[in-house]
């Protein structure tokens, strides 16, 4: 069995009924009529990797998993796209990475075992952390995003990490923060670069073991998915459990004293937190616990929530911007003052769209991470 047939079979692509339900819910297909999950599935079946690997649209898929929710044949379309990208890379194709590939280069650098990092300078004296222990706060790529996005997008990504530590300290937790933690490898995995994904995973797993980690808490859904599901899939059983910080907060709401925040808020369900990890209620419990905050649900929410428009720093194009504008208008339409998300990348993408002058003031809305919103309410 050749590799193309193997991954088509593994992801049940041969089961495709060509009903078109996937295309009907696909955010990319809504704005780009030339893209269709159903068509890509058919091309994979009839023409194989050689055909779809050369098509730049292969890198447009958001792997958001909306299509899988409506597929009557249970096709794993997002995983099919991931495997097709692995094959495409082997043929020398890699799409058009956003930001000229700069973020991919940063991730490649962190995959080097000889890399000497300076990634904990953001930890101030008021934040209590340690180097060894059972509870780790996985910072992820926030220090890299700080240098890359803070000036242009008028926000501080590393504040999400600071606010996370504040919340953990409030619960009496002094978390481990690793000096030599690496990118989790999420973007390499979904863009088909399994070699570098494996390198990053091996380096992180060694650091976790060395520090004696038993529980990993992160504010990043992509990190949570990668550490919780993708590492065990590739390396077997792991010795730690994983929590998104919203879960930990929701479990301990009775331990917090909160000030009032008078704002109308709505929530962007990140694809990895929702459709991949099935975490929907915890963020809503956290927001509902804040005195004075009026929560307003968007029509497309929960399992039907619209993706933020780009994934794994690949093919961020005009269609991505249209998806982002569409979503921001929906948030504004429910009368929200603040669009809350629980994924740093969602915030980056929406802030970028919000700064686009072509959008005008009709979608100008404050965007804030769930962790930072909750931390700002701490009494």
Tokens representing 341 are 């998300």
Tokens representing 218 are 């992160």
Tell me the pLDDT tens digit for each residue of 85-140. 999 999 998 888 888 899 999 999 999 999 888 899 999 999 999 999 999 999 99
Q: Is the pLDDT of residue 1 over 70?
A: no
CA–CA gap between residue 130 and residue 127 (Å, rounded): 10
The separation between the first and the last C-alpha atoms of the chain, rounded to the nearest angstrom, is: 62
Tokens representing 268 are 């962007």
Percent of the chain whose pLDDT exceeds 90:
87
CA–CA gap between residue 320 and residue 203 (Å, rounded): 33
Residue 47, pLDDT score: 87
Tell me the pLDDT tens digit for each residue of 7-33. 999 999 999 999 999 999 999 999 999
What mean pLDDT do residues 191-200 have?
96
CA–CA gap between residue 246 and residue 252 (Å, rounded): 10
Q: 3-state DSSP call for residue 244? A: strand
Distances (CA, A) of 250 to 253, 324, 334: 5, 28, 25
Q: Is the pLDDT of residue 224 over 70?
A: yes
CA dihedral 57, 58, 62, 68 (to 10 degrees): 120
Residue 118, pLDDT score: 87
What mean pLDDT do residues 359-377 have?
86
What mean pLDDT do residues 38-59 have?
89
Residue 74, pLDDT score: 96
CA–CA gap between residue 356 and residue 351 (Å, rounded): 9
Residue 4, pLDDT score: 81
Kindly indicate the confidence band of residue 3, based on its pLDDT and cuts at 50, 70 and 90.
confident
Residue 315, pLDDT score: 82
* Cβ partners under 8 Å of residue 296, min gap 6: 264, 265, 266, 334, 335, 336
One-letter-per-residue 3-state SS of 156-224: CCHHHHHHHHHHHHHCCCCCECCCCCCCCCHHHHHCCCHHHHHHHHHHHHHHHHHHCCCEEEECCHHHH
Question: What are the helix and strand counts (H, E) for the chain?
Answer: 19, 7
Q: Which has the closest alpha carbon to 74: 12, 129, 21, 131?
A: 12
Tokens representing 266 are 């709505």
Domains, the chain, with CATH or none: 3-90 (1.10.1060.10), 98-250 (no CATH), 257-377 (3.40.50)
Please state, rounded to an integer, the average pLDDT across all residues of the chain.
Answer: 94
Q: Which helix (H) or strand (E) holds 330?
A: helix 318-333
Kindly indicate the confidence band of residue 200, based on its pLDDT and cuts at 50, 70 and 90.
very high
CA–CA gap between residue 149 and residue 157 (Å, rounded): 8
Residue 27, pLDDT score: 96
Tell me the pLDDT tens digit for each residue of 342-361. 999 999 999 999 887 665 55
């Amino acid at each position: 069995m050749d590799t193309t047939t193997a991954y088509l079979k593994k992801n049940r692509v041969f089961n495709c009924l060509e009903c078109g339900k996937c295309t009907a819910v696909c955010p990319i297909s809504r704005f780009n009529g030339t893209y269709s999950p159903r068509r890509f599935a058919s091309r994979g079946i009839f023409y194989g990797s050689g055909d779809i690997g050369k098509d730049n649209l292969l890198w447009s898929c958001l792997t958001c998993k909306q299509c899988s929710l409506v597929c009557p044949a249970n096709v794993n379309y997002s995983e099919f796209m991931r495997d097709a990208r692995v094959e495409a890379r082997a043929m020398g194709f890699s799409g058009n990475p956003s930001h000229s590939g700069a973020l991919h280069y940063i991730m490649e650098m962190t995959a080097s075992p000889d890399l000497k990092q300076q990634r904990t300078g953001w930890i101030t004296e008021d934040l209590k952390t340690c180097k060894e222990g059972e509870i780790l706060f996985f910072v992820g790529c926030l220090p890299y995003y700080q240098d890359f996005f803070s000036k242009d997008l008028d926000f501080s990504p590393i504040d999400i990490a600071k606010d996370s530590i504040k919340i953990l300290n409030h619960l009496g937790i002094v978390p481990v923060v690793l000096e030599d933690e690496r990118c989790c490898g999420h973007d390499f995995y979904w863009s088909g670069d399994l070699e570098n994904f494996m390198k990053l995973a091996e380096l992180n797993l060694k650091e976790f073991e060395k520090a004696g980690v038993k529980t990993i808490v992160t504010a990043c859904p992509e990190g949570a998915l990668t550490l919780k599901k993708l590492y065990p899939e590739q390396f077997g059983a792991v010795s730690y459990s994983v929590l998104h910080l919203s879960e930990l907060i929701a479990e301990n709401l009775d331990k917090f004293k909160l000030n009032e925040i008078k704002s109308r808020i709505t929530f962007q369900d990140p694809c990895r937190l929702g459709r991949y990890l099935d975490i929907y209620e915890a963020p809503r419990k956290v927001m509902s616990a804040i005195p004075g905050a009026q929560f307003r649900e968007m029509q497309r929410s929960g399992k039907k929530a619209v993706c933020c428009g780009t994934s794994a720093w690949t093919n961020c194009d005009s269609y991505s911007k249209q998806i982002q504008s569409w979503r921001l208008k929906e948030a504004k339409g429910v009368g929200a003052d603040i669009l809350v998300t629980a994924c740093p990348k969602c915030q980056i993408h929406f802030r970028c769209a919000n700064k686009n002058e072509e959008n005008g003031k009709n979608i100008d809305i404050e965007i804030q991470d769930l962790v930072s919103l909750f931390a700002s309410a701490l009494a």
